[in-house]
A = this chain, B = another copy of it.
Amino acid sequence: MTFAPLQNDRFLKALNREAVDRTPVWMMRQAGRYLPEYRASREKAGSFMDLCQNAELACEVTLQPLERYPMDAAILFSDILTIPDAMGLGLYFETGEGPKFRKVVRTEADVAALPIPDAETDLGYVMKAVSTIRGALNGRVPLIGFSGSPWTLATYMVEGGSSKDFRHLKAMVYSQPELAHALLDKLAQSVTAYLNAQIRHGAQAVQIFDTWGGALSAEAYREFSLKYMQQIVDGLIRDHEGRKVPVILFTKNGGLWLETMADSGCDALGLDWTINIGEARRRVGDRVALQGNMDPAVLYASPRAIRAEVKRILDDFGDHPGHVFNLGHGITPQVDPAHAGVFIDAVQEFSQR
């Protein structure tokens, strides 16, 4: 496959800590329920997984935020639980509740029985979405691929869905650590193959979402979450189409552990809003770029307050290379799309060099 040349490479340059004319910006979950046009596409598709599995519709919703706002990156529209679903666990969604699995993974036999999905065949619908979106972008902005982290995927697989205390997986971690390691190793192999396939099909950067690593102790985080993200980083295609493919690690509530995360060999760290971004930069030095980190709840505040918070974060980061502006977590469904626009515009206005 060959694609049109990239017209806007601010995002990729910033991830490589190269100088840019202004700070690039995108929003986690930018193709999402806060947009009426997204809700219309979702309606057309049927279920949420129908939307993920239809390359044309997944492409349509991926491009929607770019039509509204001058974004510097697009992100593949998909679910973080495609891998466990491809392992045969039976992902389903019930209205008003989080994702659920028909089968749970709790015993040695359960882990042994899990296949490592073939990314090209078992997850072919994701690859088709990636190449369709990349083609439709036509070089406008880079396309980000993504996956859930092994730890985060394991929480849903072992608990059977969302959880508050992750009791079954944590019991496994402390009582049967070798079983937890066997599961996480299989997941790390699966994620590596999955992200490499996304890169081959057109993803120009990848992000690993470690949504639940922050629920671990510092020790357990290193051993059961970071270790497997490191294994993925080590196995990823890092150059493709004659360009570096940056890797972003995002552990929600991982602010205490930035130094060890930066040592993983990734190119950038995603930050939630609990850490001051200037302090984060001083802690990681020039080893990695930083992505973040406005509290998405600020988008419920007035345009004036949104602009002030954007300015505060830019000032705290300071005049250094290596900042990608983003929210500290996904944009939430009740946000007024006009407020998202105020946010994007403020980043561009205040970061002009």
Contact = CB atoms under 8 A, between A and B. Distances in A.
Contacts of A139: none
Interface stretch (A32-40, A142-150, A229-237, A293-301): A293-301
A186 interface: no
Interface in A130-170: 165-168, 170
A216 interface: yes
Contact of A256 (B171, B274, B296): B274
Interface residues of A, number: 40
A69 interface: no
Interface string A62-90: 00000000000000000000000000000
Contacts of A341: none
A261 to B, nearest CB: 14
Interface in A36-67: none
A171 B300 contact: yes
Contacts of A256: 255-256, 274-275
A118 interface: no
Q: Which 6 residue pairs across A and B have the least CB separation, nearest first? A: A174-B301, A170-B297, A174-B305, A171-B300, A175-B302, A175-B301
